[in-house]
Structure 1
Amino acid sequence: MALRPAHVIVKALDSSAVGRFWAEALGWSAYSPGVTTYVGPPGGPVWPDPVFLGLDVVPVPEPKTAAKNRVHLDLATTSAAHQAELTERLRSLGATPVDVGQGEVPWTVLADPEGNEFCVLEPREVYRDTGPIAAVVVDCVDPRAMARFWGEATDWTVNEVADDHATLRSGKGVGPYLEFLRVPDVRTVPDRLHLDLLPYPGDDQEAEVARLRTLGATDLDIGQGDAPWTCLTDPEDHEFCVLAPH
């Protein structure tokens, strides 16, 4: 048994506006079948997408706090010119420069219209075939432990593990990476971004949730009530949800 990452949840006060921003930022399309706005590759909604992780922008009443998100997106570029052009275009769409203590680095740190930080990376060969999202990046204290948990929780493959970082990617070698970066601080506020995981057809959602608990996941009550998904946290308190089989 294993779960597949289905999409990234982005919480927003104005889910339609934030969804439009990310659709234009990524060159994708925004679809609003209900209260959420799904952002995915153009050509009509395909969910779960077999290659990419879409964004599901969910309305919430609380604004983002001043604390830096512990989960963010890294965007891929193909050249220095592409990085500069993308950065300028994102700023024209409403992104703003952010100082998170990065110092002199070759990437650019921005925030979306509601303050969610993200990075526009310099061109890197490792991300040449990921699509517009190079990686979903998670701050953590112990990348090795996080790689063990997420490597067993999902059907993604652990690619690299070190004391200061770890990376996973779909076993098919497509789409973005899931990266864990070591930071000294711990989680203090709820995540504005998190992953939703999906069982394969025929797999049992409750059995998968029970398996995750044995790996170190903890139940989470965020007022979801009798929802068809289960909210959990990983061993370092990052939120995620297990959806009903699709």
Structure 2
Amino acid sequence: MALRPVQVNIKALDASAVGRFWAEALGWSAYSPGVTTYVGPVGGLVWPDPVAVGVDVVPVPEPKTATKNRVHLDLATASTAHQAELVARLRALGATSAHVGQGEVPWTVLADPEGNEFCVLEPREIYRDTGPIAAVVVDCSDPRVMARFWDEAMDWTLHEVTDGRARLRSAEGVGPYLEFLRTPDVKTVPDRVHLDLLPYPGDDRAAELARLRALGATDLDLGQGDVPWTCLADPEGHEFCVLTPS
């Protein structure tokens, strides 16, 4: 039994507009099969994508507060010229500068049109083959605790774990990394960005949920009502959802 991350879920007042922004930002396409806007690689809607982790933008009635998201995307670049071009293009699409205490760093911190922070990284060899999303990054208090939980929760491979960082990637070595970075701040409010996980065809979803709870996940009531997915939190309170295979 195993689970795989299939999309990054972003909440937005205007899901269509934010979805279009991320499609342009990543060089992907935006699809609206229902109330949400799914962003994935060009070539027709394939869900779940066999390589990429997609973006699903979900409409909500509440705007983002001033609180910094504890989950964000890092975007990959191939050269310093590519980084500069991408930053300029993103600003033209509606991205704005974001200040999250980063100081003088070689990457650029921006926010999408509704204030969700993300980073445009300088070229790094480790991300040369990830596609446009280099990593899904999660702020945490203890990367070692996060590594233990998420390494068991998913079928991805743990590549690095230190006191300051944990890094996982798909067992096939494709797509983005999932990274947990130690930060001094603590989680206080539900995040507007989270991961959605999916069981493999034929796997027992109820057994997967029981396994996650045994690993330390807890059930969450975010007012979701009667829905075909289950909202959980990891040992540090980061929300995630386990979807029902279609």
- AA of the residue aligned to 2:148: R
C-alpha distance in structure 1 between counterparts of 2:39 and 2:210, whole Å: 30
1:224 shift after superposition: 1.5
- AA of the residue aligned to 1:237: G
TM-score by length of 2: 0.99
- AA of the residue aligned to 1:10: I
C-alpha distance in structure 1 between counterparts of 2:117 and 2:245, whole Å: 31
1:245 shift after superposition: 2.4
User: Paired residues, what number?
Assistant: 246
1:191 shift after superposition: 0.8
Contact 1:23 1:39 in 2 (8 A): yes
Deviation per CA, 1:10-32: give whole Å up to 9, x if none.
00000000000000000000000
* 1:35 and 2:35 are equivalent in the alignment: yes
Within 5 Å, which residues of 2 pair with 1:80-159? 80-159=80-159
Structure 2 unaligned residues grouped into runs of 5+:
none
Contact 1:204 1:245 in 2 (8 A): no
Deviation per CA, 1:9-64: give whole Å up to 9, x if none.
00000000000000000000000011000000001011110110000000001111
C-alpha distance in structure 1 between counterparts of 2:79 and 2:166, whole Å: 25
Q: Which moved more, 1:73-82 or 1:180-189?
A: 180-189
- AA of the residue aligned to 1:240: F
Deviation per CA, 1:204-245: give whole Å up to 9, x if none.
111100100000000001112221111000000000001112
- AA of the residue aligned to 1:192: R
C-alpha distance in structure 2 between counterparts of 1:172 and 1:245, whole Å: 21
Deviation per CA, 1:55-85: give whole Å up to 9, x if none.
0000001111101100000000000000000
Within 5 Å, which residues of 2 pair with 1:143-222? 143-222=143-222
Identity across matched positions, percent? 82
TM-score by length of 1: 0.99
C-alpha distance in structure 2 between counterparts of 1:240 and 1:202, whole Å: 21
Structure 1 unaligned residues grouped into runs of 5+:
none
* Structure 2 equivalent of residue 50 of structure 1: 50
Give the secondary-structure state (helix, strand or coil) at the position aligned to 2:72. strand
C-alpha distance in structure 2 between counterparts of 1:53 and 1:179, whole Å: 14
* 1:223 and 2:223 are equivalent in the alignment: yes
Structural RMSD (CA): 0.6
C-alpha distance in structure 2 between counterparts of 1:211 and 1:245, whole Å: 17
Contact 1:147 1:161 in 2 (8 A): yes
Q: Which moved more, 1:114-123 or 1:225-234?
A: 225-234
- AA of the residue aligned to 1:110: L
Give the secondary-structure state (helix, strand or coil) at the position aligned to 1:21. helix
C-alpha distance in structure 2 between counterparts of 1:224 and 1:107, whole Å: 36
Q: Structure 1 segments of 4 or more deviating over 3 A? A: none
